[in-house]
Structure 1
């Protein structure tokens, strides 16, 4: 028996099995209702994402949608259908993940969302040309040799519960709503095109500038209407080597840069900005899932049936933990790229942020990494572990050099360094630095240290000043001494003013 005869035989057997299932439904009419699938989805054009998802699984690089008054057609250039795909798309189950762990979801219950609009979807792909009736029964139709190696889905608007005009409007809104995040977490798809009636065609394109830097363009009639840049870092999931967890940070051009120049270093042109809000995606954004973070997350999570949120499942716990580790490790890459600036700290989660419980491990991992590794910006425009840093007013940082700190400040291992300071109190940067538990070493500590070194006591009797202290002090020139006394005067004046205010207000 030839390969073609084999797949024809398998196809006929599948039809026979599905007919028996339909006969069983008829015998249980009124007790089993397949229309329940119409109520699972957060938006009525959700099947657009289902088709994109499965095109990604098929290795497609391009997908196109053509929306007409009476139907919508989707085509992609991925792998041709197999009998397993026909079986899956006409089945009622979660997915074929158990058989193919590296797939996003195949044609599971999600594909049933097309029946919101159509009663008889048609699929033409390779050796198979069929339509699906009663949601599960494949029927052979005429093939179209002009398709070549492309796969076509055709959905006529013939569901009596959904007028064609309403279907056209909903799907058109869904297609026009495709944005930069549509392709962000996919590996194969590079382009999604659509044509809505006689309107100008639209397209979302993804361009890879480097291993971490991606640009997603949205175009209308070939003209770019928006351009979004991202840093994306991913890591393979153990046991699912073709699936990844990922974090992505939006980028924006620096004020002096009119456009991105591939020839220049990224840090000379762009900065990381907060995502407002940060999305959680299972390849596509889960629209009802809130992390409370200011960057995007992705993982092959077990979603709720609607795909609008992440299911409360133990199976997702290892993915949360892996994303937390990945988020902490990305800080080293961001530093290497020259983008771990003081301003970047406003993107990171601080203690005041309302983080959803399942994502709090990400904040904890980032804080721990910043404390223990040379990642926190210093006053000297370098990076150091936060556990090594001390904090004070900018004027004191200007007065005391690193050599001065080494002499004056007690420490166990590495010499303390000045931390960078926030320009505004209670800002996101200030709150993040506070969350790192950097110890304060202000003017009060300096004065107390100088007092101790200048006049040590042995019991009730004062001793001579520390010789090393005298040597240190003799090295200071007149301008340094003037700065020091000016600093003390300012401190005394400030305290006097605050005391006066407190007395006047009765505090």
Structure 2
């Protein structure tokens, strides 16, 4: 059992002894753990997570400023200032103060996350509230001279660069940051990125709208829309987004990273974002799906299935299910557990719900619709004829036939009546439809029969 310290100074004295002992034994575990991260800007994800948690403790909207200089990076946020427990947690491997986040990824659980800053610095500084420390030897808190914290902020980090770190290269990586992480944070609503030597300024801002399911992201980062609307559906727990699905209403994306607050290395062939409190590997890059010791991931997958249902119903409610989206939702390759889950739910939704877009832009169950073998049949056979002869209320939206994957899925999986040229001949005979056709339509009719 870990020792309980009377105060921070007792902890610092013990850490000094540990550091000396590790040096004498040649232990390098701190250095090894701190170099696990392949992504050079991963430390920013961790600092943002720290700021999010600090804002959550006092339930305040948060903002964070990241200021690049030639010699290092200064980061400011307005969350709850550090306390002694926080300082002990970020300098003790395997310790965390995030009791309310019991299902967060293993970086958060085991306190490795902050160590990612050692990828760019040997001596990070923390100035927060009454505390002013540098961290040396990866875990030793060292008292330093206070630095002024700008008005409006409560915490100031200073990360002087290692000799081998290029401010320019790091800045170029940060400019390509996947800004969509802000969708899944509950408290941080604005991030500023400043490069003083280059006189460059960027921002990412989340706007909450009157519609509680529509989020707007504003940004001037390269390759970002200046303003992008997202439909966001979430399952919350303790005011945090345990699971979320977010789809851009302004941009078409067919592949997206899986998010655990921030993007992982796992990619999904889905036109929307999926975020979850999944337990990850220590680098936050992969999710152990088959590990029996990580049961929470399987539990989350089951809950995600219900969220997929709600997501599809919300799209239908907003009349956002279009032929193009039907095609994007129909995966031809689904090897990832989440892709498999999505495919099952998508097919179930199409089979049993009011899921089929009709020519009249309404949604009906598949049993009440008809699929034309040729688009021209939609103009030749009126809806009332469909109803009289085959008990069908409407044609499927004809443009769906332009998309091969959803068309094949409909034919293979759904009980939908396919109307062909023979059915057309039958309709003409039964309902004496030939009187309503013009010469051009009659010629079309014979061409269909010839086929």
Q: Report the TM-score, using the length of structure 2 for normalisation.
A: 0.85
Please state whether the residue corresponding to 2:179 is helix, strand or coil. coil
Question: Structure 1: where are the runs of 5+ without partners?
Answer: 1-7, 253-272, 455-468, 495-507
> 1:319 maps to what in 2?
300
> What does 1:15-164 correspond to in 2, within 5 Å?
15-29=12-26, 31-59=27-55, 61-93=62-94, 95-98=96-99, 100-101=101-102, 105=108, 108-144=111-147, 146-147=149-150, 149-157=153-161, 159=162, 162-163=163-164
Write the deviation string for residues 238-273 of structure 1: whole angstroms up to 9, x where unpaired: xx5523211111222xxxxxxxxxxxxxxxxxxxx5
Give the direction of change, closer, same or farther, for the CA distance of 1:214–1:436 in structure 2 (3 Å limit): farther
Larger Rg belongs to: 1
Matched, 1:389 2:369: yes
1:294 offset after TM fit, Å? 1.9
Q: 1:123 touches 1:131 (CA, 8 Å); kept in 2? A: yes
Q: C-alpha separation between the residues in 2 aligned to 1:335 and 1:369?
A: 11
Write the deviation string for residues 389-420 of structure 1: whole angstroms up to 9, x where unpaired: 221133333333343223212x6xxx553222
> 1:178 maps to what in 2?
177
Match of 2:10 among 13, 27, 33: 13
1:297 offset after TM fit, Å? 0.8
Q: C-alpha separation between the residues in 1 aligned to 2:448 and 2:434?
A: 22
Please state whether the residue corresponding to 2:197 is helix, strand or coil. coil
Q: C-alpha separation between the residues in 1 aligned to 2:414 and 2:66?
A: 53
Q: RMSD of the alignment, in Å?
A: 3.2
Q: C-alpha separation between the residues in 2 aligned to 1:194 and 1:447?
A: 64
Give the direction of change, closer, same or farther, for the CA distance of 1:304–1:435 in structure 2 (3 Å limit): farther
Q: C-alpha separation between the residues in 2 aligned to 1:191 and 1:235?
A: 23
Q: C-alpha separation between the residues in 2 aligned to 1:76 and 1:102?
A: 25
Match of 1:359 among 328, 339, 347: 339
Q: C-alpha separation between the residues in 1 aligned to 2:28 and 2:179?
A: 40
Give the direction of change, closer, same or farther, for the CA distance of 1:90–1:401 in structure 2 (3 Å limit): same
1:234 offset after TM fit, Å? 1.1
Q: 1:348 touches 1:432 (CA, 8 Å); kept in 2? A: no
Give the direction of change, closer, same or farther, for the CA distance of 1:170–1:46 in structure 2 (3 Å limit): farther
Please state whether the residue corresponding to 1:201 is helix, strand or coil. strand
Write the deviation string for residues 447-479 of structure 1: whole angstroms up to 9, x where unpaired: 68669xx8xxxxxxxxxxxxxx6xxx37x5721
Q: C-alpha separation between the residues in 2 aligned to 1:33 and 1:202?
A: 37
Higher mean Cα deviation, 169-178 or 437-446?
437-446
Q: 1:42 touches 1:308 (CA, 8 Å); kept in 2? A: no
Q: 2:232 touches 2:244 (CA, 8 Å); kept in 1? A: yes
1:193 offset after TM fit, Å? 1.0
Q: C-alpha separation between the residues in 2 aligned to 1:387 and 1:91?
A: 61
Q: C-alpha separation between the residues in 2 aligned to 1:417 and 1:52?
A: 51
1:39 offset after TM fit, Å? 3.5
Q: 2:370 touches 2:416 (CA, 8 Å); kept in 1? A: yes
Q: 1:102 touches 1:241 (CA, 8 Å); kept in 2? A: no
1:430 offset after TM fit, Å? 3.1
Q: C-alpha separation between the residues in 1 aligned to 2:254 and 2:426?
A: 46
Please state whether the residue corresponding to 2:322 is helix, strand or coil. coil
Q: C-alpha separation between the residues in 2 aligned to 1:98 and 1:279?
A: 27
Q: C-alpha separation between the residues in 1 aligned to 2:71 and 2:92?
A: 26
Q: C-alpha separation between the residues in 1 aligned to 2:442 and 2:148?
A: 89
> What does 1:433-448 correspond to in 2, within 5 Å?
433-434=410-411, 436-443=413-420, 446=423
Q: C-alpha separation between the residues in 2 aligned to 1:276 and 1:443?
A: 33
Q: 1:65 touches 1:74 (CA, 8 Å); kept in 2? A: yes
Q: C-alpha separation between the residues in 2 aligned to 1:401 and 1:424?
A: 18
Please state whether the residue corresponding to 2:9 is helix, strand or coil. helix
Q: 2:381 touches 2:424 (CA, 8 Å); kept in 1? A: no
Write the deviation string for residues 173-219 of structure 1: whole angstroms up to 9, x where unpaired: 23222243131222211111122232222212222233222222223
Q: C-alpha separation between the residues in 1 aligned to 2:440 and 2:95?
A: 72
> 2:275 maps to what in 1?
298
1:484 offset after TM fit, Å? 8.1
